[in-house]
Structure 1
Amino acid sequence: MRYFASCGKGLEYLLVDELVALGCGHATAAVAGANVAGDLAQAQRAVMWSRLASRVLWPVAEFDCPDEQALYAGVAAVDWTAHLPPHAAITVDAHVGGSAITHAQYAAQRVKDAIVDTLRAATGTRPDVDLHAPDVRLSLVIRKGRAVLSIDLSGAPMHRRGWRRKQGEAPLKENLAAAVLLRGRWPAVYAAGGALLDPMCGSGTLLIEGALMVADVAPGLMRHGDEAPTRWPGFDAAAWADLRVDAIRREAEGRAALRRAFVGRDIDRQAIRAARDNAIDAGLVDVIDFDVGDVRSLDPAAMPGRWGDGAERMAGYGASRPARDGGDIAASAPCPDHADVLLSPVQAPPREEAASGAQAGEGADGACPGLVVCNPPYDARLAADPALYRALGDALRRAVPDWSASLLCGDEPLARATGLRARKTYRVFNGAIETVLLVADRIGPAQRAEPVAPVALTPGAEMVANRLRKNLRRLKAWREREGVTCFRAYDADLPEYAAAIDVYATDESPPRTFLHVQEYAAPAEIPEATTRGRRNELLSAAREVFAVPREHVALKTRERGKGGSKYGQFDQRGEFVTVREGEARLRVNLFDYLDTGLFLDHRPLRLRIFEEARDARFLNLFAYTGAATVHAALGGARTTTTVDLSATYLQWCADNLQENGLGGARHRLVQADAIAWLEADTGQYDLVFCDPPTFSNSKRASDFDVQAAHVRLLRAAVARLAPGGVLYFSNNFRRFRLDEAQVAQFAGVEDISAHTIPPDFERNPRIHRCWRLTPRQRP
């Protein structure tokens, strides 16, 4: 069977890893959950053991649902005598999307009506409705005219563990707390003898979840007690009982071995009282030390807590402490660099850190004194304050510089305010609130690494390295004069080593350098072994010249196909870094897509837009991630309008605007087909940038071919120009031919391509073509 495990947005890939570790046959990430192929026993095991899932939904019907009549008929067609015991109480959770059925509560009511009518006709009785504690909970999802009706095997929300008696003003769900801990690799840190600190612990969710995680306590054990989570007749009660017996045994063993390795502080005395009460209910009051205190006063000598055999205080981390295997772990040892393996389109990505407690020691190849987890205030109710985040970062660097951190921050500016150098940031949702999870391998400044003896390069690699050094010398004066930190350093300069190497330096102190390597597909007659050898030589040379670690090199293969390069998404890690171009800070993603979100060859044109945008009404068509929009806004544009068919790219544009402190009604984002939108729009614009793809197809719009459609596109765009307005039109289709005779009827045309090719792309002047268009004056 295929069933669905739901979770909070941003936790999907952790959930997939967890489900696989729990024995599910196959799982793939979906929006806010995972599609799982497996049997009922595996699904019930997920209900007992998943720390990340919100629900486990077992489908009983799937049907086309264009309207409410079809919904009623589809539900009524199910044999409900097989799914509901006599006199059972039910409830229906509905989630709808589309134009036919838009009201979730009404959809849930129609499902109940169909079930009641069907059972009354078959048995003469009808089920009761119980919204809070039903015997069987049903889930309805309607998307794109298709309905899926499922049994909720979990019965109740799985983030509830059963121990929470009190909560603070903005409680953190336990499954999101588990994700914070797993992203920080807490099981590995604990297995290596480390401790857990939450300096703003609130009602103690992170600490209690962290203790239950390493004590191997099943999340479903306390939630359901002696009862099965559902009275659905298909539920295997005997198998559930066996799961429970095994979970009780593991809990007893785990709690007996649990170390006193948890410290919680909070400035609010009431919060600490609630945290202690919750720890009592969770059976953990003896292993967690709580104290009232301001984060600004955090200091090892002042922190409570005794470790190991109870004879050593937190302040003792200046010396060595007992490890689980009896050896010593030096407190000053830095956290291990757990860099993830790079993606490549020619190989499957490895799993990220396992989410199962059974994998706790994986990756713990060095000593990390501890992990700091924290959920600082960030929403309107708690009045997020960047100064508080700065104080948090300062206190952690002073008190526990050798520790690692996993901090759930309100947004990227707040995460940056901590001053911590992130290994990764993740976008996750705390309920309806979008947040940023910052993960740092070491809180303090990076320790100076011991010099590593250079690896001897092969003659081929040395040849590539020499060419790279030559290019860097040639570009040095230009880069320093223009402040260029992201540029192309190599573009198949040596034909045998056919790749482009782009350099991205992050806008942080100190900056990190990343390499984006795009390997051009080798001719079919070149043996794979030869191609692989040349690729390795190229990468060895690049890493040697730029002195970057392997995890800072993204390798991709760019294949040519009909209509141009093949675009697509390789993975969904959501790893972004921020770079600077002129006055703009821009987010790039080096690993998830073929392109990074920033076309470096258009740098001069974007800077020209910055210079010409003052007081202009700016329009960006086929906007991609909106880099040109950011430049126009920073250049003083009166308004900006950004049009793209992709919601993903528009969100990226919104993030880029926010990165630069821009937003509000002056900056409009439009998801639409550019030509259709232009032909329907009545606005006027002073400055327009149009950089369409060579070819695109989408379910939302008709196919687009730049050669076939450019006259219609440009006519519509020029029609929107205000008197004296300017349109910059560019594309990278090498065989493109501008129909000058047709375009000249409505616009003046100037080919400015040579002025828009930057020095780092001079080897490849055909990377794009660009024209400046102005409207013809009417006689």
Structure 2
Amino acid sequence: RAPGLHRGHWGFGGWAQHDDAIWKEVKAEAQTRARHGLAAYGSRFYGSDVDERVIERARRNARRAGIGELIDFAVKDVAQLNNPLPKGPYGTVISNPPYGERLESEPALIALHSLLGRIMKSQFGGWNLSVFSASPELLSCLQLRADKQFKAKNGPLDCIQKNYHLAESEGGKPAMLAEDFANRLRKNLKKFEKWARQEGIECYRLYDADLPEYNVAIDRYGDWVVVQEYAPPKTVDAHKARQRLFDIIAATIAVLEIAPNKLVLKTRERQKGKNQYQKMAEKGDFIEVQEYNARLWVNLTDYLDTGLFLDHRIARRMLGQMSKGKDFLNLFSYTGSASVHAGLGGARSTTTVDMSRTYLEWAERNLRLNGLTGRAHRLMQADVLGWL
């Protein structure tokens, strides 16, 4: 097809010696050649994106370029991707998947790339794949070996394009990333899940740096999971540490069979003074969880801690068992979970004291959730030593 065939205006149209009849003849000949070429063209293009607005824009661009008939557009996400030519011929898949910079988006991005790799292996054997990204670590989640790679730029971002050839025998279940970590997590899950169900507990630690090379803690809160990375020492290569964390997240999502948006990622470093209580986000999302006979609110995203110290669980249960008929005083109360257990255990009264208005309001919500309201359950915002 001649370049500019669909162009509506040419500068030479205003030239005094322009012969419009000859121009129309030349243009008609070019249009005829383009129609014949389009009819004889054997290739097809398939484009998809999860955003309907983007697809509509792409359709308009294709029509303006005169190639709208060659491209099948669809609104779908990666999970719905399938081979449009299962009986051949082989083709090429190109992709520019998201590679967000925000920490909270990483679990979803890791799951997305892992899924893309599995679909490529299972459905596109014999094809070529080319992926453009700013994150080599995310590309490793494809679990594919690149034949070629090229450095590139996307504005200020350093990027990379990797080309892969997918072997025809790629089908089947891919190997798990971080297989030894996945096996340990699977073993722990089998051990603790049944115990937690019998105890009436929804919040517990599944993994605590059991394997030194996978230095994370994994806590379960109902159908949510919090992965806390212990900050690696400066002697550990930052790229390798980040790659290992990505492998951990991918394996955790796969073993626990959770949605990526139900995994919260945090980095735990030694906190001093008030730093441990500083906000990390402003989402304000609370979820309700069960601990024995108590219902409690936790917030998995806004603070480093969630509002419920899991290692105090046994102490809270003991307080509940020891409080019947007694007046219970809870100093430096945090979110008041100990007051809840004491109240449910039959305490005559509870007094909950903390300097923080935020945590005192949280404690009030916890007490109210368990029906512990009224004058018998007082909340005091005060400096504890001064109050005493």
Q: So what's the TM-score if we normalise by structure 1?
A: 0.28
Alignment of 1:503 onto 2:262: no
Q: What's the counterpart of residue 483 of structure 1?
A: 200
**Cα displacement string for residues 549-595 of structure 1 (whole angstroms, at most 9, x for unaligned residues):** 11101101011155698442111110010000111110000111100
Q: What's the counterpart of residue 183 of structure 2?
A: 466
Q: Is the 8 Å Cα contact of residues 217 and 229 (structure 2) preserved in structure 1?
A: yes
Q: What's the counterpart of residue 651 of structure 1?
A: 361
Cα offset, 1:474, TM superposition: 2.9
Return the alpha-carbon distance in structure 1 between the equivalents of residues 102 and 369 of structure 2.
Answer: 26
Alignment of 1:617 onto 2:327: yes
**Secondary structure of the equivalent of 1:623?**
coil
Q: Is the 8 Å Cα contact of residues 104 and 264 (structure 2) preserved in structure 1?
A: no
Instruction: Name whichever structure is richer in helix by fraction.
Output: 2
Q: How does 1:405-444 map to 2 (within 5 A)?
A: none
Identify which of structures 1 and 2 has the higher relative contact order when contacts are C-alpha pairs closer than 8 Å and 6+ apart. Answer: 2
Return the alpha-carbon distance in structure 1 between the equivalents of residues 366 and 271 of structure 2.
Answer: 31
**Secondary structure of the equivalent of 2:103?**
coil
Return the alpha-carbon distance in structure 2 between the equivalents of residues 548 and 613 of structure 1.
Answer: 38
Among 172, 176, 183, the alignment partner of 1:457 is 176
Alignment of 1:526 onto 2:236: yes
Alignment of 1:588 onto 2:347: no
Cα offset, 1:456, TM superposition: 3.6
Q: Is the 8 Å Cα contact of residues 627 and 653 (structure 1) preserved in structure 2?
A: yes
Cα offset, 1:672, TM superposition: 1.1
Q: What's the counterpart of residue 79 of structure 2?
A: none
Q: What's the counterpart of residue 313 of structure 2?
A: 603
Return the alpha-carbon distance in structure 2 between the equivalents of residues 343 and 645 of structure 1.
Answer: 32
Cα offset, 1:497, TM superposition: 1.2
Cα offset, 1:661, TM superposition: 2.0
Cα offset, 1:668, TM superposition: 0.7
Q: How does 1:13-162 map to 2 (within 5 A)?
A: none
Distance 1:587 1:561, change over 3 A: closer
Distance 1:190 1:539, change over 3 A: closer
Return the alpha-carbon distance in structure 2 between the equivalents of residues 328 and 528 of structure 1.
Answer: 39
**Cα displacement string for residues 380-429 of structure 1 (whole angstroms, at most 9, x for unaligned residues):** xxxxxxxxxxxxxxxxxxxxxxxxxxxxxxxxxxxxxxxxxxxxxxxxxx
Q: How does 1:101-250 map to 2 (within 5 A)?
A: none
**Secondary structure of the equivalent of 2:335?**
coil
Among 578, 583, 586, the alignment partner of 2:288 is 578
Q: Is the 8 Å Cα contact of residues 499 and 520 (structure 1) preserved in structure 2?
A: yes
Q: What's the counterpart of residue 37 of structure 1?
A: none
- The amino acid across from 1:547 in the alignment is E
- The amino acid across from 2:235 in the alignment is E
- The amino acid across from 1:573 in the alignment is K
Cα offset, 1:526, TM superposition: 1.0
User: How many residues of Structure 1 are paired with residues of Structure 2 in the alignment?
Assistant: 231
Distance 1:565 1:499, change over 3 A: farther
Return the alpha-carbon distance in structure 2 between the equivalents of residues 328 and 548 of structure 1.
Answer: 27
Distance 1:190 1:559, change over 3 A: closer
- The amino acid across from 1:541 in the alignment is A
Distance 1:564 1:651, change over 3 A: closer
Q: How does 1:647-726 map to 2 (within 5 A)?
A: 647-678=357-388
Return the alpha-carbon distance in structure 2 between the equivalents of residues 342 and 328 of structure 1.
Answer: 27
Return the alpha-carbon distance in structure 1 between the equivalents of residues 281 and 273 of structure 2.
Answer: 23
Distance 1:328 1:482, change over 3 A: closer
Among 247, 251, 260, the alignment partner of 1:541 is 251
- The amino acid across from 2:380 in the alignment is V
Q: Is the 8 Å Cα contact of residues 515 and 554 (structure 1) preserved in structure 2?
A: yes
Q: Is the 8 Å Cα contact of residues 558 and 565 (structure 1) preserved in structure 2?
A: no
Unpaired stretches in structure 2, ≥5 consecutive residues: 1-50, 55-72, 76-99, 107-171
**Cα displacement string for residues 684-727 of structure 1 (whole angstroms, at most 9, x for unaligned residues):** xxxxxxxxxxxxxxxxxxxxxxxxxxxxxxxxxxxxxxxxxxxx
Q: What's the counterpart of residue 341 of structure 2?
A: 631
**Secondary structure of the equivalent of 1:490?**
strand
**Secondary structure of the equivalent of 1:541?**
helix
Q: What's the counterpart of residue 344 of structure 1?
A: 103
Return the alpha-carbon distance in structure 2 between the equivalents of residues 343 and 635 of structure 1.
Answer: 43
Cα offset, 1:657, TM superposition: 1.2
- The amino acid across from 1:494 in the alignment is L
The alignment-based identity, stated in percent, is 48
**Cα displacement string for residues 601-641 of structure 1 (whole angstroms, at most 9, x for unaligned residues):** 11111111111111110011111001111111111111100
Compute the RMSD of aligned alpha carbons.
Answer: 3.0
Unpaired stretches in structure 1, ≥5 consecutive residues: 1-188, 193-326, 330-340, 348-452, 506-512, 679-779
- The amino acid across from 2:176 in the alignment is L
Q: So what's the TM-score if we normalise by structure 2?
A: 0.55
**Cα displacement string for residues 352-390 of structure 1 (whole angstroms, at most 9, x for unaligned residues):** xxxxxxxxxxxxxxxxxxxxxxxxxxxxxxxxxxxxxxx
Q: What's the counterpart of residue 156 of structure 2?
A: none
Q: What's the counterpart of residue 159 of structure 2?
A: none
Distance 1:470 1:676, change over 3 A: same
**Cα displacement string for residues 68-125 of structure 1 (whole angstroms, at most 9, x for unaligned residues):** xxxxxxxxxxxxxxxxxxxxxxxxxxxxxxxxxxxxxxxxxxxxxxxxxxxxxxxxxx
Return the alpha-carbon distance in structure 1 between the equivalents of residues 300 and 271 of structure 2.
Answer: 22
Return the alpha-carbon distance in structure 1 between the equivalents of residues 192 and 211 of structure 2.
Answer: 18
Q: Is the 8 Å Cα contact of residues 343 and 554 (structure 1) preserved in structure 2?
A: no
Cα offset, 1:484, TM superposition: 2.1
Alignment of 1:516 onto 2:218: no
Distance 1:550 1:629, change over 3 A: same
Distance 1:631 1:343, change over 3 A: farther
Q: What's the counterpart of residue 299 of structure 1?
A: none
**Cα displacement string for residues 288-334 of structure 1 (whole angstroms, at most 9, x for unaligned residues):** xxxxxxxxxxxxxxxxxxxxxxxxxxxxxxxxxxxxxxx999xxxxx
**Secondary structure of the equivalent of 1:560?**
coil
Return the alpha-carbon distance in structure 1 between the equivalents of residues 302 and 231 of structure 2.
Answer: 19
Q: Is the 8 Å Cα contact of residues 643 and 669 (structure 1) preserved in structure 2?
A: yes
Q: Is the 8 Å Cα contact of residues 323 and 346 (structure 2) preserved in structure 1?
A: yes
Q: Is the 8 Å Cα contact of residues 200 and 290 (structure 2) preserved in structure 1?
A: no
Distance 1:486 1:578, change over 3 A: same
Q: What's the counterpart of residue 80 of structure 2?
A: none
Cα offset, 1:477, TM superposition: 4.7
Q: Is the 8 Å Cα contact of residues 345 and 557 (structure 1) preserved in structure 2?
A: no
Return the alpha-carbon distance in structure 2 between the equivalents of residues 647 and 504 of structure 1.
Answer: 25
Q: Is the 8 Å Cα contact of residues 641 and 667 (structure 1) preserved in structure 2?
A: yes
Q: What's the counterpart of residue 640 of structure 1?
A: 350
Q: How does 1:270-285 map to 2 (within 5 A)?
A: none
